[in-house]
Amino acid sequence: MEQSEIVRSIREKISNDVLGYHSYCGDETLVVRREALFNIMKILKEEFHFEMLVDICGVDFLGKEPRFEVVYHLNSLSRKMRLRVKVPVNEGEEVESLVPLYPIANWLERETWDMMGIRFANHPDLRRLLMYDGFVGHALRKDYPINKRQPLVKPKNEYR
Amino acid sequence: MEVDKVLAGDSFFTTRLNDVIGWSRKFSIFSYPFVTACCGMEFMSVSCSHYDIDRFGAGLPRFSPRQADLLMVVGTISQKIAPVLVRIYEQMCNPKWVVAFGVCTCTGGFYDDYATVQGIDTIVPVDVYIPGCPPRPETVLDGLMKLQQKIQKQKQAV
């Protein structure tokens, strides 16, 4: 089956929950409703053979509504195609965790929480992944001050 | 003047204790390589036979800080690993020296961000800075010789 046909059948299947769709140079992107994310990913994994979750990341559109977007990159090894799924999220809203579907989502969601401050509902262990305990704020948010430092070892001027 | 004739018999020479201790210390540097990033490749290059840091008496890395004199901080130090670096430094016995290897350890380099210590001299005292991203092996050897001069000249704690 052609890639565009696969995407068309996906869109027909979940048409109630698709907010937008675009395709550019073979990059297929679906924008879906936050509440329906888990079911859509389940359908994509089980019926459309997207066995591999490549990456999860967050995007901060400061000043826009909704402020964040969580981006999922899927890969289908059996069909040799990739798909991008985007979920708009507002500040304070939670996205359903994908750990029951893809175990790799555990660390990827922890990273997204650490860097962007997007919470994932029903995540088994939502702690910071990259930054340390005691770090205040989320470093990759657009409103994180660029010169803000939170050292674990306080600088000592006598060594300079 | 042939050396073996001079050294034969009961010949002796005089020097100051401070100088002879400095001379022996500078040629028996046991380094602890604290390697965290890409500068480690240059450190390996200096250590191996082509540039051979062993010619300067600093060839034996000790992987316990308690047996080392020289803390070689090679590579970017993030805020998260800074407490480990300070602890390693505190575990070393006196006399001890620290070399900041590469621009990330000197100033933070181009990592002017939330994650990186802006120069390890904010958390441990540094004796020699070796700049470069990464430094060429020649620069490292130059830095090592600078350190040897410093060890030779300093007041030796006994």
Domain ranges within chain A, ordered by starting residue: 3-121
Average pLDDT over residues A98-119: 93
B contact test, residue of A114, A143, A153 with most B CBs within 10 A: A153
Instruction: Name the pairing type of β-strands A27-32 and B31-35.
Output: unpaired
Confidence grade of residue A158 (pLDDT, cut at 50, 70, 90): low
pLDDT at residue A159 tops 70: no
Domain ranges of chain B: 2-153
Q: What is this model's ipTM?
A: 0.79
pLDDT at residue A143 tops 80: yes
pLDDT at B1: 57
Domain A3-121 belongs to what architecture? 2-Layer Sandwich (3.30)
Q: Please tell me if residue B110 touches chain A, with a CB cutoff of 8 Å.
A: no
pLDDT at B33: 92
pLDDT at A105: 92
pLDDT at A32: 93
pLDDT at A151: 86
Size of interface A-B (CB pairs under 8 A): 41
Distance (Å) from the alpha carbon of B19 to chain A's nearest alpha carbon:
26
The answer to whether the beta carbons of residues A109 and A98 sit under 8 Å apart is yes
Q: Of B35, B41, B131, B130, nearest to B81 (Cα)? A: B35
Average pLDDT over residues B77-86: 92
pLDDT at residue A108 tops 90: yes
pLDDT at A1: 67
Confidence grade of residue A37 (pLDDT, cut at 50, 70, 90): very high
Domain B2-153 has CATH 3.40.50.12280: yes
pLDDT at A101: 92
What is this structure's pTM?
0.84
Q: Please tell me if residue B77 touches chain A, with a CB cutoff of 8 Å.
A: no
**Mean pLDDT across chain B, nearest whole number?**
89
Strands (E), chain A: 18-24, 27-32, 52-60, 68-76, 81-89, 94-96, 119-121
